[in-house]
């Protein structure tokens, strides 16, 4: 019988590591990555954690600490992080056809049926990623996805393991599980963790040995699957096919309050354009669009929030159709005299392109030139840079853009930001 085996590859301090790849002077420096509009710390390096800073800390509270310890702070560079993630996933796909991209910096690999030393194999993967992208990763190996998660946790925190750990048949298996609090087990949420603690089940080993019937009664069938996974029985298969989105939302909070309708129209154009691009990336079409508008409810000022939706005659992925509809909705929603914090666009009623209905009286998105036009626009923007071709209603004032005053260059996605090497 061929035994299941999984590897979890996790990029270490991913956002901070992406910044270090193109700026070696940041090595061993404390680094913090900010949320939208540069408000709070959302990602941090180990060096910053060692200073007692945690995720969610407002950056304005760190002014003295930043000066004292030379902390480097960056705005979130989504295009850089997304592109670096894609490069890592492409490397992983070379090593196995069975790959589940779990998040921007994590992926599960199936090692089922592979012979030989899995630690050496994982070490080869780790070295290849480091060589080709400059990013450090940790790899945990186990007979189930849950155990691979725990193994990854061990690999990341024990420097002697050099970033790779296989928990399968390990002589200290029980000792390792006993050191894992139930609240840190993948699949055990905060409420279940509290329930387990109340019943004297504090670590993964105690949960593994808990009675099957009691687990099923208290934690449902999903909790029982987690326990079986801890026992080395694989119950969670790789999710190799990503489920199509049921809705696509595109929105950002403004860097500064917006009062003018023209600025709101520009922002709506940008968000709507990006939402329909995502729709085409997944080879989908949609027939409903909603626009919502809101002020900042945390400010002591006049408040307003509203939304409105409409349907297209036929499902489509043609950006001008959605833009025309969204701007009409925005004009209906807008009320002068308010300081707006956010506008957003949501596309729903999504179906695959292959299921687009035929219409006897008018051409559909696939029947006329609209799909060809969109393919041409997408191709140029992918090759030459985002918004190289843009719609006139996006304007050029950009007063509505979110605040990103400490943004690093887009090293891998814009020609003008390519790093220069001085020899």
The rounded distance, in Å, linking the Cα atoms of 251 and 270 is 9
Structure-token pair, residue 360: 């006897």
Class of domain 6-10+81-230: alpha beta
Residue 339 CB partners (closer than 8 Å, separation 6+) = 257, 258, 259, 295, 296, 299, 301, 302
Is the distance from CB of 20 to CB of 33 less than 8 angstroms? no
The rounded distance, in Å, linking the Cα atoms of 125 and 151 is 16
The rounded distance, in Å, linking the Cα atoms of 313 and 325 is 11
The rounded distance, in Å, linking the Cα atoms of 126 and 166 is 14
Architecture of domain 247-394: 2-Layer Sandwich (3.30)
Domain limits of the chain? 6-10+81-230, 14-78, 247-394
| Residue 416 pLDDT | 83
| Residue 242 pLDDT | 66
The rounded distance, in Å, linking the Cα atoms of 217 and 195 is 12
Is the distance from CB of 134 to CB of 128 less than 8 angstroms? no
CA 182 remoteness from chain centre: 25
The rounded distance, in Å, linking the Cα atoms of 34 and 43 is 7
Structure-token pair, residue 394: 């996006």
Q: Do domains 6-10+81-230 and 14-78 have the same CATH topology?
A: no
The rounded distance, in Å, linking the Cα atoms of 212 and 230 is 13
Name which of 372, 390, 388, 384 is nearest 280 in CA terms. 372
Gyration radius of the chain's alpha carbons = 25
Buried b (16+ CB within 10 A) or exposed e, 270-290: bbbbbbbbebbeeebbbbbbb
CA angle 382, 383, 386 (to 5 degrees): 45
Residues forming beta bridges with residue 58, ordered by sequence position: 40
Name which of 146, 318, 360 is nearest 234 in CA terms. 146
| Residue 1 pLDDT | 46
1.20.1560.10, 3.40.1170.60, 3.30.70.980, 3.50.50.60: CATH of 14-78 = 3.40.1170.60
pLDDT (tens place) for every residue of the chain, 423 residues total: 457 899 999 999 999 999 999 999 999 999 999 988 888 999 999 999 999 999 999 999 999 999 999 999 999 998 899 999 999 999 999 998 899 999 999 999 998 878 788 999 999 999 999 999 999 999 999 999 999 999 999 999 998 999 999 999 899 999 999 999 999 999 898 999 999 999 999 999 999 999 999 999 999 999 999 999 999 999 988 876 666 678 899 988 888 899 999 999 999 999 999 999 999 998 999 999 999 999 998 889 999 999 999 999 889 999 999 999 999 999 999 999 999 999 999 999 999 888 877 666 677 777 778 888 888 988 888 877 677 778 887 776 666 676 778 888 888 888 788 888 777
CA 399 remoteness from chain centre: 27
DSSP 10-67: EETTHHHHHHHHT-GGGTTS-EEEE-GGG-BEEEE-HHHHTTT--TT-BGGGGHHHHH
| Residue 399 pLDDT | 67
């Amino acid at each position: 019988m061929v035994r299941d085996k999984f590897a979890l590859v996790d990029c270490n301090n991913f956002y901070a590591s992406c910044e270090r790849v193109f700026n070696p002077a940041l090595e061993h420096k404390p680094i913090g990555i900010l949320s939208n509009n540069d408000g709070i710390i959302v990602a941090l390096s180990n060096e910053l954690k060692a200073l007692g800073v945690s995720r969610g800390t407002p950056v304005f509270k760190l002014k003295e600490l930043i000066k004292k310890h030379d902390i480097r702070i960056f705005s979130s560079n989504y295009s850089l992080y997304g592109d670096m993630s894609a490069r890592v996933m492409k490397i992983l796909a070379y090593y196995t056809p069975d790959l589940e991209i779990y998040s921007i910096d994590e992926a599960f690999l199936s090692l089922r049926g592979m012979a030989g030393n899995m630690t050496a194999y994982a070490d080869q993967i780790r070295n290849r990623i480091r060589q080709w992208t400059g990013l450090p990763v940790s790899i945990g190996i186990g007979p189930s996805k849950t155990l691979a998660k725990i193994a990854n946790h061990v690999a990341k925190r024990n420097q002697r393991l050099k970033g790779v750990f296989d928990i399968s048949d390990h002589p200290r298996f029980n000792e390792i599980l006993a050191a894992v609090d139930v609240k840190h087990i993948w699949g055990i949420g905060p409420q279940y963790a509290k329930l387990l603690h109340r019943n004297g089940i504090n670590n993964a080993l105690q949960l593994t040995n808990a009675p099957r019937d009691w687990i099923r009664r208290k934690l449902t069938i999903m909790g029982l699957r987690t326990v079986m996974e801890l026992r080395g029985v694989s119950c969670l298969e790789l999710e190799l096919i990503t489920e199509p989105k049921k809705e696509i939302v595109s929105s950002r909070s403004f860097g500064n309050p917006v009062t003018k309708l023209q600025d709101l129209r520009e922002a709506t154009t940008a968000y709507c354009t990006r939402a329909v691009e995502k729709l085409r990336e997944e080879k989908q079409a949609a027939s409903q669009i909603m626009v919502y508008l809101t002020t900042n409810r945390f400010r002591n000022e006049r408040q307003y929030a509203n939304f409105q939706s409409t349907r297209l005659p036929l499902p489509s992925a043609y950006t001008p159709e959605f833009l025309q509809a969204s701007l009409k909705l925005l004009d209906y929603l807008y009320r002068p005299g308010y300081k707006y914090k956010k506008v957003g666009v949501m596309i729903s009623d999504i179906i695959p392109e292959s299921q687009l209905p035929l219409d006897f009286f008018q051409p559909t998105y696939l029947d006329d030139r609209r799909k060809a036009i969109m393919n041409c626009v997408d191709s140029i923007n992918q090759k030459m840079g985002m918004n190289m071709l843009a719609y006139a209603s996006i304007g050029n004032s950009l007063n509505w853009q979110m605040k990103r005053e400490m943004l690093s260059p887009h090293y891998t996605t814009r020609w003008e930001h390519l790093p220069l090497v001085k020899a």
